[in-house]
């Protein structure tokens, strides 16, 4: 009978000690992390150029945020009848490759560097950055453009 009492008393005593000591797990404070994804989006934010040469965000209602490749592909189709302009030459090729490393979003574009003027580079960088950030990416991440003839240095969007 003594053995049976010891078998039940020992686990009960251990359980009581663990409850009192908290199993050695210390309570931690609030942890800071990256911003949460924004969730559903009515479409992609594309950047075009206004009459004064300034970058202007334009929402393309696609029913979803889509990928970075999708957004830049939409940008390459042009501003449509929005009254805005683009500094990217017209193209029928809109397939864009994307890879995201630790702090750089790399885009493989179907364009040579001569087909994109200075504001056009900012249009592409800002469109990619806005989509990346809206999908939960870090705001400080940069965008690197790979044209068919050269690779540009990583850049940040001047308006974000």
Q: Is residue 122 part of a domain?
A: yes
Per residue in 22-39, pLDDT (tens digit) is: 545 555 444 454 444 445
Closest C-alpha among 39, 68, 69, 71 to residue 58: 71
Is 88 a domain residue?
Answer: yes
3-state secondary structure of 143: strand
Cα–Cα distance measured from residue 48 to residue 58, given in angstroms and rounded to the nearest whole number? 7
Asked whether residue 18 is assigned to any structural domain, the reply reads no
pTM: 0.75
Phi-psi region of 101 (alpha: psi -120 to 50; beta: other; left: phi over 0): beta
8 Å CB contact between 118 and 88: no
**Residue at 84 is within a domain:** yes
Q: 104-134 in b/e burial notation, b at 16+ Cβ within 10 A?
A: ebbbbbbbeeebbeebbbbbbbbbbbbbbbb
Q: What percent of the chain has pLDDT over 70?
A: 74
Residue-wise pLDDT for 59-96, tens only, equals 998 888 899 999 999 999 999 999 999 999 999 999 99
Determine, yes or no, domain membership for 106: yes
- Into how many domains does the chain fold? 1
Residue 57: pLDDT above 60?
yes
pLDDT band at 118; cut points 50, 70, 90: confident
pLDDT tens for each residue of 119-146: 999 999 999 999 999 999 999 999 999 9
Residue 160 resides in a domain: no
- Residue 33 vs residue 47, higher pLDDT: 47
Q: Structural domain of residue 94, as residue ranges?
A: 43-146
Residue 124 belongs to some domain of the structure: yes
């Amino acid at each position: 009978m003594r053995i049976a009492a010891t078998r039940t008393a020992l686990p009960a005593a251990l359980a009581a000690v663990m409850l009192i000591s908290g199993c050695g797990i210390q309570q931690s404070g609030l942890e800071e992390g990256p911003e949460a994804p924004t969730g559903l989006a009515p479409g992609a934010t594309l950047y075009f150029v206004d009459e004064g040469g300034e970058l202007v965000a334009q929402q393309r209602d696609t029913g979803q945020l889509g990928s970075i490749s999708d957004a830049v592909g939409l940008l390459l189709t042009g501003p449509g009848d929005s009254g805005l302009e683009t500094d990217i030459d017209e193209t029928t090729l809109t397939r864009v490759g994307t890879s995201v490393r630790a702090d750089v979003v790399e885009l493989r574009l179907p364009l040579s560097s001569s087909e994109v003027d200075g504001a056009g580079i900012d249009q592409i960088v800002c469109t990619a950055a806005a989509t990346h950030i809206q999908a939960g990416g870090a705001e400080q991440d940069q965008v690197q453009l790979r044209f068919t003839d050269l690779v540009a240095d990583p850049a940040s969007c001047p308006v974000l």
